[in-house]
A and B are shown apart, each in its own frame.
Chain A
Amino acid sequence: MAENKPIGTVLVAGAGISGIKAAIELAETGYKVLLTDSSTQVGGILAKLDYQFPSDHCGMCRMLPMVGREYSSEYCMRKSLYHENIEILPFTEVVSVAGDAGKYKVELKKRARYVNSEVCNELGKCIEACPVETADEFNHGLTTRKAIYKSVPHNVPQLLLIDKSVCTECGECVKVCSTGAINLHAQDEVETREVHAIVLASGVKLYNTKEYEDAKSYAVSPDVVTSLAFERMLSGTGTYRDGIIKRPSDGKPAKKIAWIQCMGSRNKRQNRDYCSSVCCMFALKEAVLAKEKGGDDVETTIFYMDMRTFGKGFQQYRANAEEEHGVRLVRCRVQEVVREPDGNLRIRYFDPETNEFQIAHYDIVVMSTGQIPFDDHRKWAELVNGELSPTGLLATEKYSKVRLAGKQGIFMCGSLMGLTDISEAMASGIAAAGEATSFLNAIGTDKVSFEDIAEPVTDDRQLPKAAVLLCKCGEFAGAEGIDLDMIKTEVMKHRGVGTVHVVNSICSEEGQKEALDVLKKAKCNRLLIGACQPFMYRRKVRDIAKKAGYNSSLVQIFDLLGIARRGTEEASKLAWTRRTINEIKADLESIKQKPALHVQSVPINPTALVVGGGIGGMHSALSLANRGIPVHIVEKSGELGGFAGNQIAATVDGLKPMTMAKDLKLKVFEHNKITVHLNSQVTKTEGTLGAFESKIVSSGTDQKTYLHHGAVIMATGGHEGQTDEYGYGQSDRIVTQFQFKQQLESGAIDLSAVENVVMIQCVGSREAGKREYCSRICCMWAVANALKIKEMNPDVRVYVLYRDIMTYGFLEQYYTKARAAGVIFVNYDLNSKPQVEIADGMPVMRFTENILNTEVEISPDYLVLSTGVDPETSNTELAEAFSLPLNNDGFFSEADSKWRPIEFKQIGSFLAGVSHSPMPLPDVIMQAEAAAQKAYTYLSGGSINTARVISTVKDALCIRCQRCIAACPFEARSYNAAEHRIEVDPAGCQGCGMCAVACRNNAAEVSGWSDKQMMSVIDAKLADDLQPSTAS
């Protein structure tokens, strides 16, 4: 029966980071993926950003697989992406979707590139020949390109294409192309493919300042740019090449830069009653970078409405930007930008500090442009016949951010859900992959088995003998200046070379047949191939090599023409050839010293442990159990459900956590794959991915249980914060936001007798020495309670004293609604906190009203304090029991704040929900789904294949000094006290070689990167090829 099952295939539409992440997750689990993108390249917006908040660094490569890393690309993701199970289709649009759940027929339109990338050797002669110059959209028009061009400068392979909108069809490019790759009359191709599930990840369009009326009063000069364009001004592949942030109009170094926030967002007049969520952090980051890149004398000012730094670590980032870097924040909506005759940009603004209008001049004004989501959503709704919500967005299932309502097998992730930051994009991509995996599992599709990829065995006792295959690239290698005959003769003389063969073009079928033939006859055990685009042919060539009996770890492919390209222009052909020979010799030395490497299979206990039985924990457990994975839930209290599931009846956006928890509880208790341990705590965990052992202690008994599991998900929650500020505890009329909500719902408050209610936000939050983070949900709670009061008795005056209202995304509409209902929002800052006194048991408040700039005294009937969210107190003990890290705030620290938000550094351990940081319920569920998916990838097969290149211990040489353990960045090395040995976790090891350097006895070594190999490569590289005298 198993043979009849088809391999599960998923279409991921959109190759931005969330789409890529979803694709990688699916591919790693063993499903086939079609990854399309309507643009010319993969990477989405992130391809344009060299630096990302909240760390100002890149780190995109960290989203590549950890365990199955050798099935995917192991190089910078700015170059490109590769995975055995992913078919990448850039410049391809989904034109129709037919069929039903599990049997979708998608029609894909591959737009014509006019350059056949299969045969293009990307030497770029055509680009030189092209006479047409036009604005380069990758750099937002800051630079120019030709009509035939590479869309992203750092992509490898470059995948050239022709922009037919500017092409004059002069044919100059065709003339210079030696491989016949250009066809000016190529047509779009339409292809129908069958897929089982679809993940929509097409991102979101950004507000176009040229298109909308209100932006015109700002876009008065080329020096007024969008935030993405400014990003290109900071990039080495943009206009920052010589280390200067240049003013676009005249190239003058920019010393004064301003940002205007909420461009196209939070604008009810334009029917954009939403916040774009990421622009505040984006602007802060750009301001910090402008200081770093442009010098200390650069002045940066951000004009904002609310600084929405609600994500994990964002508040600290803001504090750092202001205090360390001197980024100036001005709360003011700028009305217009005026271009002075000298080109400077004048901004008149109201300065809340001085309470006066001010005028300032800037070199560059950056508009923080937000999302414009509705068109994309309408398009998808039509294509997949999906439902639109009243807001105009694709409707999702209740509680889910990724499952489309009523559409089985269709999911979405990333900025299509509303602009997301990187960590959310990652989490949503993994969650969408998780939902898709569950769906594929339920409809009974099969997975690709990685064991199928069998390897020819090479006997290590054989002397190394290498075959060298060089591709002429249709005579072009010769024309480029490389003397292939000389190379052949010289390389043949090198020790250990069995044969050197030159094929005409390895990209052609004949060439491949010829290569296979030669390799079979050669009787060699190592193979070195030189071709024009090693990335392109990797798969094809490796297949040929495998067929001819070469172990793939002993096959190396190098960029033959690339070596020539790296030369100085004035170098002679002879010098190029000699250099190429030396490079080949160095590669030969490396490959000769290399032993055949093999994959290890590590057995996996396919059981998961979930710590915490709140909504997130239960969701993770059910998600795994429904896919056949046995799960243990350990909950310290006597009840499942956690804080939200036991205490919160309803949220402002219509969710009912208690009802949901009740439903989940029922499912959990009924599920035969789930074991619940109530009143229990994990006190000690040992082991590695696939083989953990945890000691569980249940309160009230002496009984200790030992659980064996393959992975763990930390889903500990949080609870409402405590405070002694603002007279809390001195009057029963001073309550927390949660207490107030409960009293309101239970009818304990008679609103007909109430005149004034004052709420204070950020109590003990976003303040040094206290809760230094934003708790993300308190603003929504305040808005919800305020709306409730107004609904029950519109005459009650409600004042919300806030610092920044964090109603990000589409929650903004509730803030708008509250203001329309007459709720008065008053801004305060930390220097002028509201004052509270108690008179006759009642609070009396004094605060400054910021618009009138006068002191106000109010005697509220209720003073409601938003005290934020505290992490679960048991986190500290759990962190110790599991040896997992906590951050300064008491939440768990993920492996990487942007690229690996769901995982811990220690492989096999994951986190979800409020154990990560405070977040609303739909985000908790999304992370819970993502954590379940991460665990499922490792657990589902019963075993995993490790990479070939991993670190090893030569036990006889090892002196057990344990330095390597400290050096390992992935905690993959450990000391086994019982056996007095150093051990490597082959799944956790990433082959970076830190241990090998730290080891003083050469006992630690990375297979495939031995000292012996490196030493011979160094020798070979130092062989003389520079002195012309030795060339004769």
Chain B
Amino acid sequence: MSEFEPKIVAFFCNWCTFTAADLAGTSRLTYPPNIKIIRVMCSGMVDPKYVIKAFLNGADGVLIGGCWPGDCHYINGNLKARRRVALLTELLSQYGIGPERLWLRWIAASEGTMLKEVAEQMTASIKKLGPSELNKPQAMVA
């Protein structure tokens, strides 16, 4: 059995973080393939149910990437995301998904290096945590 490879769903905002991902790509910065990027228009567009859905369907971690406060193309979408993530973290921990599995990070368009670092840190940290509670039974069967 090979090493546990976590699946991390990453919702990246179209304006800042997705640009950073592009920049990382064109700068040939490599980061773990465990990060599955989904482009959304704004981090404030990430409905809590998307996060829950991701966990239910096998994600070991969810990363939300948005613009730094003040940079949001839609004025305050990222701040709304921050409030939601705070609530959602509380809720998820009731179901055995700890706060360390849901990350919210501000990554600006020029911060390709930061994107790489966050992707690496998160992958490493989830690897250490092991599979999500919701994925464990299946993992044991396999």
Contacts and interface: CB of A to CB of B under 8 A. Distances in A.
Given A562-B22, A1015-B53, A1018-B53, A58 B109 contact: yes
B99 interface: no
A277 interface: no
A82 interface: no
Interface string B24-36: 1111101111101
Interface string A999-1028: 000000010010100110111011001111
B26 A571 contact: no
5 contacts: A76-B18, A122-B26, A992-B73, A994-B45, A997-B48
Interface in A142-163: 150, 153-154, 156, 158
B110 interface: yes
B97 interface: no
Nearest to B14: A75
Contact of B24 (A124, A566, A1021): A566
A150 to B, nearest CB: 8
B64 interface: no
Interface string B46-88: 1111100110011100000001111101111100100010000
A969 interface: yes
A994 B5 contact: no
A571 B111 CA distance: 24
B73 A1011 contact: no
A76 B19 contact: yes
B45 A154 contact: no
A1029 B2 contact: yes
B42 interface: yes
A102 interface: no
Interface string A63-87: 0000000000011101100000000
A236 B110 contact: yes
B110 A156 contact: no
A985 B69 CA distance: 26
A990 B74 contact: yes
A242 B48 CA distance: 33
B54 A1009 contact: no
A703 to B, nearest CB: 40
B131 interface: no
A1015 B56 CA distance: 11
B19 A79 contact: yes
B122 interface: no
B110 A1014 contact: no
Contacts of A1029: 2
Interface string A556-587: 00010010011111010001000100000010
B23 A992 contact: no
Interface in A194-248: 235-237, 241-242
A241 B22 contact: no
Interface in A571-619: 571, 575, 579, 586
Interface residues of B, number: 58
Contacts of A241: 113
Query: Which of B2, B16, B22, B57 has the most A CB atoms < 10 Å from its CB?
Result: B22
Nearest to B119: A566
Given A566-B25, A1021-B36, A1026-B7, A997 B47 contact: yes
A76 B109 contact: yes
A1027 B5 contact: yes
B111 to A, nearest CB: 4
B54 A1026 contact: no
A1022 B80 contact: no
Contact of B74 (A236, A571, A994, A1027): A994
B23 A153 contact: yes
Interface residues of A, number: 62
B28 A124 contact: yes
A61 B15 contact: yes
A566 B109 contact: no
Nearest to A563: B25
Contacts of A1006: 41, 45
Contacts of B33: 566-568, 571, 575, 579, 1025-1026
Nearest to A123: B28
A1025 B36 CA distance: 11
B142 to A, nearest CB: 9
A991 B126 CA distance: 33
The 4 lowest CB-CB distance pairs between A and B, nearest first, are A993-B45, A57-B70, A992-B74, A76-B19
Given A1015-B53, A1018-B50, A58 B71 contact: yes
B26 A156 contact: yes
Contact of A236 (B34, B48, B80, B112): B112
B28 A565 contact: yes
A568 B36 CA distance: 13
A43 to B, nearest CB: 12
Nearest to A49: B110
A61 B73 contact: yes
A262 to B, nearest CB: 29
A969 B45 CA distance: 12
B77 A1022 contact: no
Interface secondary structure of B, over-half rule? loop
Contacts of A743: none
B102 interface: no
Given A154-B19, A1021-B36, A236 B47 contact: no
A559 B54 CA distance: 24
Contacts of A990: 74
Given A78-B109, A236-B114, A1022-B36, A566 B41 contact: no
A107 B22 CA distance: 36
A996 B47 contact: yes
B26 A565 contact: yes
A50 interface: yes
B41 A992 contact: yes
A707 interface: no
A967 B44 CA distance: 10
B25 A565 contact: yes
Nearest to A61: B73
Given A78-B110, A236-B108, A1026-B5, A991 B41 contact: yes
Contacts of A267: none
A586 B47 CA distance: 18
Contacts of A993: 40-42, 44-45
Contacts of B38: 586, 1014, 1017-1018, 1021
A62 B15 CA distance: 10
B26 A1027 contact: no
A59 B77 CA distance: 13
A158 B27 CA distance: 10
Query: Which of A58, A575, A970, A1006 has the most B CB atoms < 10 Å from its CB?
Result: A58
A994 B40 CA distance: 12
Contacts of B112: 153-154, 236-237
Interface in A238-287: 241-242
A1022 B57 contact: yes
Interface in A511-569: 559, 562, 565-569
A572 to B, nearest CB: 11
A562 B59 CA distance: 24
A56 interface: yes
Contacts of B109: 58, 76, 78-79, 154
A55 interface: yes
A241 B29 CA distance: 12
A174 B19 CA distance: 30
B73 A997 contact: no
A1027 B34 CA distance: 11
A566 B68 contact: no
A1021 B9 contact: yes
Contacts of A58: 67, 71, 108-109
Contacts of B24: 566
Contact of A994 (B2, B31, B44): B44
Nearest to A1021: B36
Contacts of B75: 905, 969-970
A236 B15 contact: no
Query: Which of A235, A559, A969, A996 has the most B CB atoms < 10 Å from its CB?
Result: A969
Contacts of A74: 14
